[in-house]
Structures are given as structure tokens and as C-alpha cells.
A and B are shown apart, each in its own frame.
Chain A
Amino acid sequence: AVAKRAVAKVAQHDKVPRPVGFVPPPPPCPGRIRHFKI
């Protein structure tokens, strides 16, 4: 007989809703290009 095992449900973390207009911070590096990128 084949027994069906219970599979643990992956916990779903509640996502924190981002406020309207939220802009994620830029990555710390590399920095901004001042002229142009070769």
C-alpha cells in the first residue's frame, strides 16, 4: 500500500506593504557616473 505523506507547508511570511511613492535606496556601490561609462 502506498501511504501519502503529509508535506509541511512552506511558511509564507507576511510581506510588509510598501508605502505609496516608496523608492528603494540605491545600491551603495558602485557610485554614480559623472561623465560616461567606457
Chain B
Amino acid sequence: APAAPPAPLGCDDPEAEAAAEVALSYINSHSHHGYKFALNRIENIRVLPQKPGDDIMLLELDLLETTCHILSPMPVENCTVRSFREHAVEGDCDVKLQKLDGKLSVLASKCHSHADSSEDVLQLCPDCPLLASLNNTEVLTTVKAALDDHNSKNADAYLRLLEIGRAKIQYAPAHVVYVEFAVAATNCSAEAAKENVEACQLLPDDQSNFGFCTATKVISPAQDFQVDCHLYGHQVPASDSAFLCQDTS
């Protein structure tokens, strides 16, 4: 008599969690923009047996944005998940994995991210600032002012903007713009950049030194401006050899 089919894998089973961990590593290491994501919930898992010792696993994951930029060397396990009050962003991912002789590898992944609704945030936290569009004029001027401020006060490498990661604007009780952005060191010192900023180029990938800045600009009732930038240190590009990637989007 044929053997009974194995019981379906539960979303909290160790095997499902191991697959989700591999999938999360893959998603974070193959993303080049925004922030690292942390696992919030395994929504569903399906195992499609192919041959003995060869299974295809289909995972649906619910992820949450962390405070670590994707270029940060910090392992995602040490990254703080954005709180609800910070206007959380969720990622929904479908991942296809292969489990061959016990070894997991990702074959494909597809993710969509979306911010929590403003109504939800305001319901629990009426004074919390909400996410603003990254091309908002106030956001862009704040980012430029923050980078100029940092470069004018530091004699080290002249920093260039890589991307704006997040921006929030609060209108009451105070008018405040919060921005976060990724930067990269150029081949110029801040002093040399004053002479000819156009000549300042980003360093090649193998010498790149990325960083991250946060800035808070209080516009009213009293003006204030705080900028904090730090460089991650020299980064070696991550190898993809740990994953057998055939297709991803």
C-alpha cells in the first residue's frame, strides 16, 4: 500500500521558519534600495514534492520595514523594526524555494511593499508625523540643506546623496520635517569639493564607503535644524554565491 502523504507543513514549524529565514536573507541581499525587512509572519507555505529528496516550497511572507538601510552592514537580526508610531511599512512577498537533499535555495521572489494607512496611524497617535512623498518640496530642500550642513562642518570625505529613504512631515503641534537618506563618500575632501564639486566622483564599488543621515528641521513655532550622518566604513559587496538565484523581481 502506498505510504500516507506527509502531514501539511505548518507555518510555525521549524522547517517553515528555516525556509523563511533563507528567503528573508535572499530578499534583503538582493534589494538595492530602501530598508532591510524583518519577518513578521509566515502567511502560508505549500510543499510540492518533486522527487525523493527534492521539494519545491512556496512561501508567503509578511515582512516589516526596519530602521537599517539596505546598505547598512548590520545583520537584520539586530535591526529594529519600525514601530507603528513611525508609520510602519509592510512587505508582502511570495518566494519559491527548492529543498534539495536538505539544502534550501531560493529560485524566485516577488515582493510588494506598502505603508500602513494614515488613518490607522492617526487613530492611535493623532500627533504622529506621517510619511511624506520623497519628492515633496519640503523634503527635498531639507535633504539638500542637511547634506550641505554636514559637508560644510566636516573636513572628511565630501558626501553625496545616494537616495532618500524616508521622510515624514508633522504639521501640528509643530511644523517639523524628518528625513533619512543614504550617502556615499566621494574621492574629494570637503575642502576640495569647495573648489570644484563637479569633479567629486563616487568611489568605485570595491572601495565604496556608504553612510546614512538623519535630519530634523523644525520650521515653526521656532526654527531648529539637526543633522546626524555616519559612514558605515568600507564595504565589500555581498556575494550571491550562497543562493542559487535563477529569477527575481
Contacts and interface: CB of A to CB of B under 8 A. Distances in A.
Contact of A30 (B38, B41, B81, B88): B41
Interface in B225-243: none
Interface residues of B, number: 23
B12 to A, nearest CB: 4
A26 interface: yes
A interface majority secondary structure:
loop
A17 interface: no
A37 B43 CA distance: 12
Interface residues on A, range: 10 to 19
A10 interface: no
Contacts of A34: 38-41
A28 B116 contact: no
B64 interface: yes
Interface of B: 8-13, 16, 38-45, 62, 64, 81, 84, 88, 90, 116, 120
B116 A38 contact: yes
A33 B64 CA distance: 11
Nearest to B42: A31
A30 B84 contact: no
5 contacts: A29-B44, A30-B11, A31-B12, A36-B64, A38-B120
B149 to A, nearest CB: 34
Contacts of A36: 40, 64, 84, 88
A8 to B, nearest CB: 34
A28 to B, nearest CB: 4
Given A35-B64, A38-B90, A38-B120, A29 B38 contact: no
Contacts of A31: 10-12, 16, 41-43
A32 B41 contact: yes
A28 B9 contact: yes
B45 A29 contact: yes
B38 A35 contact: yes
Interface string A10-38: 00000000000000001011111111111
A37 B62 CA distance: 9
Given A34-B39, A34-B40, A38-B116, A29 B88 contact: no
Contact of A28 (B10, B39, B90, B120): B10
A29 B44 CA distance: 6
B12 A32 contact: yes
